């Protein structure tokens, strides 16, 4: 039997991808595994190197903390934080399925980050920008492509400012990238579904409805 299809989640920075993703992984524990990307950007407060949600079973086994505390401390967004030199070396060696320059930093998905998740028969989730989507389309990964979009540029800017993770310079770069993303994602056939994340509940229900078949496959395989 072939494993579950991977899922590519894309959309402008600040649209709400990781907010939705965290919720999904919490509700469907043991169904999804996050493909931990590499990046040359600096870690934000609370981010740790190389910690994906698919390490959850190990964390649960090794600690006496309540499950809720562990879940809130584990981010699905953490990266392998690397230097430009080591990232470029990995790219040159063919270790990445895709890579891109975004807001002044390099980002990329290593082949092993996907293989690690797929080896556990989990639905592999990739959170990538629009360049990542275009590059993954040239591979044989065959994921479900989902775009999370903000209701408007104004709301996106407010969410990014309120998140307090960006300098004015990186915020402006992200807004510029968002304009391009919002245009490209309108092209027919790029995404299987485009979800407008206005009301979080509604967006989350739509996200689940697209994934219901793959979720069922993983749950059936566990029986
Ligand atoms: N539906 C929503 N309504 C209001 N605020 C939201 C909604 N969804 C997400 N947010 C908030 O918007 C901010 C950006 O969300 P989030 O960090 O999930 O975006 P992202 O798409 O993962 O961004 P990035 O690509 O930069 O990681 C967060 O502070 C989050 O709490
Ligand atoms: N092409 C890729 N894009 C990626 C990857 N990992 C994350 N991203 C995208 O980068 C931006 C910014 O992320 P942030 O964590 O710095 O806010 C966001 O749009 C992500 O989707 C990757 O491996 N490849």
Write the residue with the smallest CA distance to atom 15 of ligand 1: 16
Q: Rounded CA gap, 21 and 44, in Å?
A: 18
Nearest atom in ligand 1 to the alpha carbon of residue 15 is 21
Q: Euclidean distance between the first and final Cα of the chain, in Å?
A: 15
- Among this protein's residues, is 174 annotated catalytic? yes
pLDDT for position 62: 38
Write the residue with the smallest CA distance to atom 5 of ligand 2: 128
Would you say the CB of residue 149 lies under 6 angstroms from ligand 2?
no
CA of 44: how far to CAs of 61, 79, 132, 135, 158, in Å?
A: 27, 10, 22, 27, 19
Q: Is 1 helix (H, G, I), strand (E, B) or coil?
A: coil
pLDDT for position 20: 97
Nearest atom in ligand 2 to the alpha carbon of residue 105 is 16
Write the residue with the smallest CA distance to atom 24 of ligand 2: 108
Mutate to test the pocket of ligand 1, among 12, 159, 164 (most ligand atoms within 8 A of CB): 159
Which member of 5, 44, 84, 179 is catalytic? 44
The complex's ipTM? 0.99
Write the residue with the smallest CA distance to atom 4 of ligand 2: 128
Q: pTM to 2 decimals?
A: 0.91
Ligand 1 neighbours (beta carbon < 6 A): 11, 13-19, 77, 159, 162-163, 197, 200
Q: Rounded CA gap, 128 and 190, in Å?
A: 14
- Among this protein's residues, is 159 annotated catalytic? no
pLDDT for position 68: 38
Segment-wise mean pLDDT, segments of 10 residues, the chain, 223 residues: 88 97 96 97 91 43 38 57 98 98 97 96 97 98 98 98 96 98 96 98 98 96 90
CA of 113: how far to CAs of 67, 108, 140, 187, in Å?
A: 25, 10, 16, 29
Cα of 207 to ligand 2 centre, how many Å? 19
pLDDT for position 54: 41
- Among this protein's residues, is 41 annotated catalytic? no
**In the 8-state DSSP scheme, what is residue 77?**
T
Write the residue with the smallest CA distance to atom 26 of ligand 1: 13
pLDDT for position 75: 42
pLDDT for position 67: 39
> Please, which contacts does 134-138 make with residues 24 or more away whose CB atoms are closer than 8 Å?
135/97, 135/98, 135/99, 135/100, 136/8, 136/97, 136/98, 136/109
pLDDT for position 51: 61
């Amino acid at each position: 039997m072939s494993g579950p299809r991977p899922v590519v989640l894309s959309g402008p920075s600040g649209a709400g991808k990781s907010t939705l993703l965290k919720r999904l992984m919490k509700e469907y524990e043991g169904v999804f595994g996050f493909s931990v990307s590499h990046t040359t950007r600096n870690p934000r407060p609370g981010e740790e190197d190389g910690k994906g949600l698919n390490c959850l079973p190990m964390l649960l086994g090794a600690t006496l903390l309540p499950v809720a505390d562990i879940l809130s401390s584990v981010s699905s967004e953490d990266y392998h934080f690397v230097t430009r030199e080591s990232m470029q070396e990995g790219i040159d060696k063919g270790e990445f399925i895709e890579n891109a320059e975004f807001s002044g930093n390099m980002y990329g998905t290593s082949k092993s980050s996907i293989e690690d998740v797929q080896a556990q028969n989990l639905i592999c989730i990739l959170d990538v920008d629009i360049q990542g989507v275009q590059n993954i389309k040239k591979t044989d990964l065959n994921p479900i492509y989902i775009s999370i979009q903000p209701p408007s540029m104004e709301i996106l800017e407010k969410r990014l400012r309120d998140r307090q993770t960006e300098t004015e310079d990186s915020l402006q770069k992200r807004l510029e990238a968002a304009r391009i993303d919002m245009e490209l994602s309108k092209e027919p056939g790029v995404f299987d579904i485009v979800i407008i994340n206005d009301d979080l509940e509604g967006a989350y229900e739509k996200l689940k409805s697209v994934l219901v078949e793959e979720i069922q496959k993983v749950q059936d395989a566990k029986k």
